[in-house]
Amino acid sequence: MAPVDPSFQTASRPTREPLRQRARAATRDELEMVPWLRVLAVDERERVIADLQVVDAAVGDFVCKIGRPASFWFGVVDGLLKMSNDSSVGTSITFTGVPPGAWFGEGTLLKREVYRYNIEPLRKSVVAGLPATTFEWLLDRSIAFNRYVMNQLNERLGQFIAAREIDRLNDPDTKVARGLAALFHPVLYPGVGEVLRITQQELAYLVGLSRQRVNEALKTLQAQGLIRIEYGGLRVLDLAGLRRVLHRAPE
């Protein structure tokens, strides 16, 4: 098995076994949650399966940490992560949530940079990591994989431009709609489908509002027929309509 990224480590609980020591091979069901495996040729897929590592991460772990060199491409098999800044030097800012099916960090790998963000679980999650050497090997030989990565970068650019626009608005309902639309992105987060398993408190962390205000916004969106609040999560009934709320001007 390839060496494990040093970013697979625990943040602040010395009694917990470090993430790098918890890494293991992916199960067949976990491999089914890797959306880009199906675009690879047989020999490419075999190498990826041999090199891919999976770890069970909990709240308090860091999957990525600001300042550490990137040596893995990461994906969420199950659970929910958040991407944020370093709160020790100022106000805590959550850039985005990272739900099942999401793969991230390709830009940092391509530029051979250190991480400029933290990635932490909001709940118990299963995270996969592909070594940078295997990632680069795929880029060198697979046109289909290159197209997948280019599409990822293009979609993420559009998502962050929209996020920048919405962050300038003061309408809480718009912020919640933006957060949900981002988490239900069918290209970036294909593992979500129509139902997102998320609590209102977790959503509050991601959009930067109180749980009570998020609850009010969700009820408004449900009354508009855009979502349905279900036990343990949210179902999108009209994703196009939810995206239109994303660009609504404040009254």
Last residue of a domain, one of 152, 177, 198: 152
Q: What pLDDT shows up at residue 9?
A: 44
Q: What pLDDT shows up at residue 95?
A: 78
Average pLDDT over residues 109-134: 93
Last residue of a domain, one of 125, 152, 179: 152
Structure tokens at 97: 């949530």
Structure tokens at 120: 């932490």
What total number of domains does the chain contain? 2
Does 204 lie in the same domain as 144? no
Cα–Cα distances in angstroms (integers) from residue 168 to residues 26, 131, 240, in the given order: 41, 37, 22
Does 173 lie in the same domain as 131? no
Does 177 lie in the same domain as 148? no
Q: What pLDDT shows up at residue 246?
A: 57
Last residue of a domain, one of 106, 123, 152: 152
Does 201 lie in the same domain as 128? no
The answer to whether residue 124 is domain-embedded is yes
Q: What pLDDT shows up at residue 90?
A: 61
CB 71 within 8 A of CB 132: yes
Over 60: is that where the pLDDT of 10 sits? no
Does 61 lie in the same domain as 175? no
Q: What pLDDT shows up at residue 79?
A: 92
pLDDT in tens, 144-161: 999 999 999 998 888 777
Range from 60-74, 185-199, 224-238 carrying the lowest mean pLDDT: 185-199
Does 102 lie in the same domain as 26? yes
Over 50: is that where the pLDDT of 14 sits? no
Does 94 lie in the same domain as 139? yes
Q: What is the pTM of this model?
A: 0.80
The answer to whether residue 157 is domain-embedded is no
Q: What pLDDT shows up at residue 167?
A: 66
Domain that holds residue 39: 9-152
The answer to whether residue 141 is domain-embedded is yes
- What stretches of the chain show up as alpha helix (H) in DSSP? 19-22, 28-31, 42-51, 106-111, 132-141, 143-167, 172-183, 200-207, 211-223, 239-246
